[in-house]
Amino acid sequence: MTAYFANPSEYPQPQEPLPLAAFLAEHRQFVYRVAVVGKSVAEVVQDVGGWIFDQSAQGCHVTVVTIDVAGAESLKILGAQSVSLAEAEIAGEEPQPHVLMASTGLCQSHLSVSEAIGAIIRRKKTSVLLFGKDVAAGDHPSARRIEYPLSTATAAFKSHALSSSDNLSVTDRVEVFGHAGIAVAPVSLGSKRSSIRGAPTRRRS
C-alpha cells in the first residue's frame, strides 16, 4: 500500500491532485475489470446486456471484445467500451480481467479463443462465466446455470441499447448464463441461483 493510503500524520497527503492516469497506473489492482467476449455486439447486448449494465453501474470497467464491432455505439449506453478481437490479441495478455464472460458460440468456432479461455480457467485467477443457447437450455456440460433477473431500470437501458442498434428483439427480464466449472472444449461448448487476452480499459469520463 502506498504512502498516501497510510497514516496521514506520518505521510502527509499530496498538495496537488494526483493525475488520474498516474494514479490508475500505480493502483491498477483497484480497477475492477470485466471482459465480455462474443461473436458480435448484437449477440452480446441481446444475451447479457443487462448484466453488462449492472457491472458498469457498480463501477467496473467493462470491455466487450467481438469479431464484429458493428453497433458498438449501443455498448456506450450500457457503460461498456468496444474492442475488436484483433485489437485485443495485439494488446497482449495484460491486464487480465477479474471477470470474463464468454460466448460458447465463439469458443466453438475459434480454437484460439477456446484455448485462451481454458488457460484462464486453469489459472484460477479470473472468474469465468459462459453464455449462449446451450447454456440457456441447460445443455452445456461445463457451466453451472444461473438465472439473472433484470431490474426495471436495467431492462430499460438494455432495451434502449437494443433499439439503438436496430435490434428489435424483446428484452427478456431474465438473462441466463453459467459459471464455467472446467476447461472449455473447442468442439463441444457448450443473480438468482435455483486473454482471452485482456484489452486495455479506459476509465469513463
∠ at Cα 168 (150, 69), nearest 5°? Answer: 85
User: What pLDDT digit, counting tens, does each position of 38-80 carry?
Assistant: 999 999 999 999 999 999 999 999 999 999 999 999 999 999 9
Overall average pLDDT of the 114-143 stretch: 86
For the chain, give every domain's residue range: 34-180
66 touches 168 (CB < 8 A): no
d(CA 104, CA 54): 22
Determine the distance from the C-alpha atom of residue 120 to the mean position of all C-alpha atoms in its chain, rounded to a whole number. 14
Going by pLDDT thresholds of 50, 70 and 90, the confidence category of residue 118 is confident
Among 151, 156, 148, CA closest to 77: 156
CATH node for 34-180: 3.40.50.10320
Q: Give me the chain's average pLDDT, please.
A: 77
Q: Is 166 left (phi over 0), alpha (psi -120 to 50) or beta?
A: left
The pLDDT of residue 4: 38
